[in-house]
């Protein structure tokens, strides 16, 4: 998957987890929490969906990498590079 495809995959997950949010103007550099209503259970949901949908494991010590879209995509790139685009 390319970074753009990974971003699209994350958007899809966020749409499931936070269906009330408008993600069209998401600023990739800004933290998710500053732009949308996400709590700790929601972050666990992101980790769970990555595991379920892409078999990607995110260990607890790496959770801090999921703060913004930019940091999430950079963190996931090596883990998802070999996955075929959907």
Partner 1 sequence: MALTHHQYSPPKLPRIVLTGIGLTSPNGNDLATHRAALLNKQSGVQDYEIRYVGKTLAGICDYDALKYQNRREVRRGTRAGSVAIYSCNEAVVNSQIDWENMDKSRVGIYLGVTEHGNVETENEVYELSQFDYDVSVWNHFHNPRTVANNPAGEAALNMGITGPHYTLGAACAAGNNGLIQGAQMLQLGQCDLALAGGVSESIHTFGIFASFKSQGALAEHSDPVKASRPFDVDRNGIVVSEGGCVYTLERLDDALARGAHIYGELVGHSINTDATDFVLPNPERQSQCINIALKMAGITPADVDILSTHATGTLSGDIQEVSALRKVFDANCKVSINNTKSFIGHCMGAAGALELAGNLGSFEDNICHPTINVDTLDEECAIPGLVLNDAKQLENVEYIVNNSFGMLGINSTVVIRKYSS
Q: Which positions lie near partner 1, rule CB under 8 A?
A: 16-20, 37, 41, 44-45, 48, 51-52
* Distance, CA of 17 to CA of 4 (rounded, Å): 20
Cα–Cα distance list, 39 to 1, 2, 34, 45, 58 (Å) = 28, 28, 11, 10, 17
CB of 60 to partner 1, least distance (A): 12
- Choice between 3 and 18, CB closer to partner 1: 18
- Indicate the residue among 18 and 26 with the shorter CB distance to partner 1: 18
Is residue 14 helix, strand or coil? helix
Q: For the CB of residue 35, give the shortest distance to partner 1 in the complex, in Å.
A: 15
């Amino acid at each position: 998957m390319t970074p753009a495809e990974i971003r699209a995959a994350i958007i899809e997950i966020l749409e499931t987890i936070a269906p009330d949010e408008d993600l069209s103007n998401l600023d990739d550099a800004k933290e998710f929490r500053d732009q949308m209503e996400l709590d700790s259970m929601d972050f666990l949901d992101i980790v769970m969906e990555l595991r379920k949908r892409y078999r990607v494991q995110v260990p607890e010590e790496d959770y801090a990498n999921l703060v913004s879209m930019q940091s999430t995509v950079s963190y996931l790139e090596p883990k998802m590079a070999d996955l075929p685009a959907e």
